Amino acid sequence: MSTHPSIRRRIIWRLSVLFFGALVLSSALFLYESWVHRVDNLDRSLRKAAAELADSVQRDSTGALRIPGSALGRLQILEIPSLRYAVVDPMTNAVAVGSTAGFIRDIAKLPLMSAAPGGFDFRDASGASERGYVTGVDSAMGRLRIVVASPNLSFADTLAWMQDEVASELLPVLAPLFLGALLVAPFTIRRSLLPLDRLSVQAAMIEPARTDVRLQEQGVPSEILPLVRKINEALVRIDEGFEQQRRFTSNAAHELRTPLAILRARIDGLEDGATKSGLIGDVERMSRLVSQLLLAGRLELQPPMPNVLIDLAEVARETVERMSPLQAASKHRFKLLLPERPIRIWGDAEALGDALRNLIENALAHSPPAAPVEIEVTEGGALEVRDRGPGVPPADRQRIFERFWRGPNPGGDGAGLGLSIVQAIAERHRGTITVEDNPGGGALFRLQLPGSMPARGKSSPS
């Protein structure tokens, strides 16, 4: 079971339960009202039947009471189930006319002559519950007692009747309302939760290079507004912490440059020898580390995506030219491959030059002496650097871009900042940096910038 339940699903589920409960409750109320209504209707129908019989009873030539067939036909219009009736002769106080002999026997046991007009319940000879109505009427034949009866309505009969009524009348009305509510509820809930989706998009934009992003409070539901405000307050504190860290890194690197320059000047004044060469190498490594720290701090302060149109091939050419002294000192040979046409992209030429320089320095650090280092600008908008070193094991191809990670067997004396700087520049340009095996042996680093996928075009050595 998921530990992060969906608000949409919870609301829809609870609304469905609420709608279903309301449907059940309304059906129960409808059933009760229907049962009461049917009982009232039965009583009214019995009163009408009694009045119809009272108006229609006659006495034949022999003096016996009878009911014309036309009157019995009118009783059928009342739609009383299993209607039974009887007329009590006032002269004999006996049932003179009845629908069935059984009914005559049933009511003969009842004190009908002394009963007040109105409805009553009784049981017939079989024990079945009956609903009756008795009334007195004055006629030319004297005071008559009219008795009508019908099987009493049971809850089961009412339920069966209600099923027909629900299927024919209630269901066609409630079902569309219920289904409509279920269809409208998800749409309404989804629209109501759109501010949360917008907040998620805004939160996804927060990163070390953009700690100034804040969640917008406009249009946020009042129930969520306190949470948004607290998050914005936390972002302010985080932004201040990042700013302090950036200032510290930048200031520390700047402060180190001056003593390093003084130290280098003093070392240059020493006599030539192994000690002087070693100290110069140490100072150069420290100077490179300081430069990398300054570059890392500067990247964190820059906006995510530059909007300057540059020629990637020209960036590569200028970077390689600036590194020609390093090439001569290392005795490696650079091989620059450029496409026949300019590769124009939106980017920061200085930052991309720094990235390429770090990739070349990394290749020099891991390549055997005098091994060539190939630099290529592809038609697909990528910078590729290939070396002839030991390569990068697949297990380490993600970690090598972490800050200060150097691996179990580092091939150089760097601090582990160069490749992390390359990744930061790639992310700033919405690009990617990957490493794979070089077909000729060694590693191939590819800095892919936005545009077409990597694809080698025609290239010419330069």
Residue 331 clears pLDDT 70, i.e. is over it:
yes
pLDDT band at residue 292, thresholds of 50, 70 and 90?
Answer: low
Q: Which residue has the higher pLDDT, 394 or 452?
A: 394
List residues bridging with 337 in a β-sheet: 376, 461
pLDDT in tens, 77-111: 666 777 888 887 766 666 777 777 777 777 777 77
Query: What is the C-alpha separation between 414 and 404, in angstroms, rounded?
Result: 9
Give the mean pLDDT of 50-70. 75
Instruction: With beta carbons less than 8 A apart as the criterion, state whether 297 and 289 touch.
Output: no
Task: Evaluate whether 396 touches 408 at the Cβ level (below 8 Å).
Answer: no
Residue 158's H or E segment, with its range, is helix 155-165
* % of residues, the chain, pLDDT over 90: 9
H helix and E strand count, the chain: 12, 15
Q: Are 172 and 184 in contact (CB under 8 A)?
A: no
Q: What is the sign, positive or negative, of the torsion defined by CA atoms of 388, 393, 394, 398?
A: negative
pLDDT tops 80 at residue 351: yes
What digits encode the pLDDT tens for the residues 191-208?
A: 777 787 888 888 887 776
Place domain 305-461 in its CATH homologous superfamily: Histidine kinase-like ATPase, C-terminal domain (3.30.565.10)
Mean pLDDT of 106-118: 70
Strands 84-89 and 94-98: antiparallel
With a cut of 80, say whether residue 298 has pLDDT above it: no
pLDDT at residue 318, rounded to an integer: 93
Q: Do 206 and 213 touch, CB atoms closer than 8 A?
A: yes
pLDDT digits 0-9 by tens, 139-166: 766 777 888 888 877 666 666 666 666 6
444 has a pLDDT exceeding 90: yes
| Total Cβ atoms within 10 A of residue 431 | 22
What is the fold of 7-157? Beta-Lactamase (3.30.450)
Between 204 and 211, name the one with better pLDDT: 204
pLDDT for res 445: 94
Please count the other Cβ atoms lying within 10 Å of the Cβ belonging to residue 429: 22
> Which class does domain 204-301 fall in?
mainly alpha
The answer for residues whose C-beta is within 8 angstroms of residue 381's C-beta and 6 or more apart is 312, 343, 345, 448, 449, 450, 451, 452
The model's pTM is 0.46
pLDDT of 1 higher than 60: no
User: Cβ distance 294 to 288 under 8 Å?
Assistant: no
For the chain, give every domain's residue range: 7-157, 204-301, 305-461
Give the list of residues 6+ apart from residue 433 with CB closer than 8 angstroms, or none: 401, 419, 422, 423, 426, 445, 446, 447, 448
SS3 (DSSP) at 264: helix
Residues 6+ apart with CB under 8 A from 15: 181, 182, 185
Average pLDDT, the chain: 76
Q: State the DSSP H helix or E strand holding residue 136, giving kind and residue range, or none if neither.
A: strand 129-139
pLDDT digits (tens, 9 = 90+) for 119-128: 777 777 777 8
More reliable by pLDDT, 455 or 34: 34
Q: What angle do CA 439, 441, 446 make, to 5 degrees?
A: 60
Residue 76: count of CB within 10 angstroms of its CB: 9
What are residue 98's DSSP bridge partners? 86
For the stretch 427-443, pLDDT in tens is 888 899 999 998 888 89
SS3 24: helix
Please return the burial class of 250, using the count of CB atoms within 10 Å of its CB with bins 0-12, 13-18 and 19+: middle
Q: How confident is the model at residue 395 (pLDDT cuts 50, 70, 90)?
A: confident
pLDDT given at position 305: 60
102 versus 416: the higher-pLDDT residue is 102
Q: Do 299 and 337 meet the contact criterion of CB atoms below 8 Å apart?
A: no
pLDDT at 419 over 60: yes
Which amino acid makes up residue 250?
Answer: S
Q: What confidence tier does 247 reach under pLDDT thresholds 50, 70, 90? A: confident
Q: What is the pLDDT of residues 35-44, one digit of tens each?
A: 677 777 778 8
d(C-alpha 320, C-alpha 356), whole Å: 9
**pLDDT band at residue 456 using 50, 70 and 90 as cut-offs:** very low
d(CA 304, CA 213): 12
Q: What secondary structure, in 3-state letters, does 275-303 show? A: HHHHHHHHHHHHHHHHHHHHHHHHHHHCC
Q: How many CA atoms lie within 13 A of 345 on its CB side?
A: 26
Mean pLDDT of 167-193: 71
Residue 180: both structure tokens together: 């409509």
